[in-house]
Amino acid sequence: MVTTCYFVRHAEPNYDNHNDYERELSEKGERDRHLVTAFLEDKGITAIYSSPYVRAKETVRPLADKLGLAVIERDDFRERKITTDWIEDFQAFSQQQWADFSYKLADGESLSEVATRNIAALEQLLEEHEGQNLVVGSHGTALSTIINHYDKTFAYADFERVKGLMPWIVVFRFEGKTCLSIEEVNLFEL
């Protein structure tokens, strides 16, 4: 039985809000999230999960409302914690993390730690929803580490390539816990 997981990277956030947990969508993000609903509404979705971060939940909420489903928060799908302070040179920091998956700042997480908790949460969903079609509201870095887990060729250059894609969907197909395929969907090219 094939289980399909549609990971949805959130739409554009309001970058003026530096609170990572509470950062809401920008006006553009609020408009663009409807691209997610249009793409997924006929995919036979049976459950919708999300990171607890506001921007991720807000991105999948219109789909949940349309399908009459709840958005179920799973803390382990949250974005990586960089540090307690705002980082000005995000690109240099990201390059360092992709070069060394164990690298992290004080009070932050390494990409290895982000991948470990996201994969554990995903594998739990695969057990709970075998043969179903699921949606998971996610984030750029967290989602990139999941792709990298199953496809080691996905690296920093790919992360840079998709950095501006918000929202962005990645479709994973599984048989049991074996990843059969990974498909990127650029909603702006449909």
* Single pTM value for the model: 0.95
Q: How far is CA 178 from CA 2, 132, 143, 145, 173, in A?
A: 10, 15, 17, 16, 8
pLDDT score, position 20 = 85
d(CA 45, CA 122): 16
Written as six digits, the tokens of 162 are 């998709």
Domain count, the chain: 1
Please report, to the nearest 10 degrees, the dihedral formed by the alpha carbons of residues 64, 69, 73, 79 taken in order. Answer: -30
pLDDT by residue for the chain (190 residues), tens only, comes to 999 999 999 999 999 998 888 999 999 999 999 999 999 999 999 999 999 999 999 999 999 999 999 999 999 999 998 877 777 788 889 999 999 999 998 889 999 999 999 999 999 999 999 999 999 999 999 999 999 999 999 999 999 999 999 999 999 999 999 999 999 999 999 8
Please report, to the nearest 10 degrees, the dihedral formed by the alpha carbons of residues 125, 58, 95, 111 taken in order. Answer: -30
> Where in the sequence is the domain holding 47, given as residue range(s)?
2-189
Contacts of 21 (CB under 8 A, 6+ apart): 52, 53, 54
CATH number at residue 103: 3.40.50.1240
pLDDT score, position 52 = 97
